[in-house]
Amino acid sequence: MVEIIKEPWPWYIAGPLIGLTVPALLILGNKSFGISSSLRHICAACIPSNISFFKYDWKKELWNLFFVLGILLGGIIASQLLINPGEISVNPALKSELATYGITDYSNLVPVQLMNFASLFTLKGFIIMVVGGFLVGFGTRYAGGCTSGHAIMGLSNLQWPSLIATICFMAGGFLMANVILPIILSI
């Protein structure tokens, strides 16, 4: 049984399981699925200030913080107990393309040559980790939610803004992966 959990699940099993969180949350508590708003709840709970953005009853959203804590704990447990000792499977064509940028280590979920503490102090690492992280955070707030909130919850509720946001997320992802990232990696 544990071996089945260690393997990647196909989209036709994992996708519906993720999708079932929407009706489960709606039926069990009339709650909306989304992760990015939890940072606002944490700030409202931990940072006493007179900023109007953080002045609301964050305790009503406590369930969301427990949900995010469960995701974090699940990730920690999975990384310690369910890790697959084999190399991460990467398409051979992608491997050869990434090798031209010096990325050859697939022993972790992210390439070690890009995501390590030492590379944070290089131009390439700073752009990828700090600038990229800022842009993801800014974009999430600007779009009024993250991909899980819009693409999973918003689309299932037939919300027009979520369709627009999801199309923009996908277009931005394609642009980043095919145009911008190769430029950054060649630095």
Q: Please tell me the predicted confidence (pLDDT) of residue 175.
A: 95
- Residues 67 and 152 sit within 8 Å (Cβ to Cβ): no
Q: Return the minimum-mean-pLDDT range out of 27-31, 85-89, 96-100, 139-143.
A: 85-89
pLDDT one-digit tens code per residue, 125-153: 899 899 999 998 888 888 888 888 898 88
Domain boundaries, the chain: 1-83, 114-187
| Residue 11 binned pLDDT confidence (cut-offs 50, 70, 90) | confident
Q: What is the pTM of this model?
A: 0.74
Q: Please tell me the predicted confidence (pLDDT) of residue 76.
A: 92
Cα(9)–Cα(107) distance, integer angstroms: 19
Average pLDDT over residues 157-185: 92
pLDDT one-digit tens code per residue, 72-87: 999 898 888 887 777 7
Classify residue 36 by burial, with Cβ atoms within 10 Å: 0-12, 13-18, 19+: buried
> Which among 129, 131, 158, 162 is positioned nearest to 148, based on CA atoms?
162
Average pLDDT over residues 117-122: 88
Q: Please tell me the predicted confidence (pLDDT) of residue 88.
A: 77
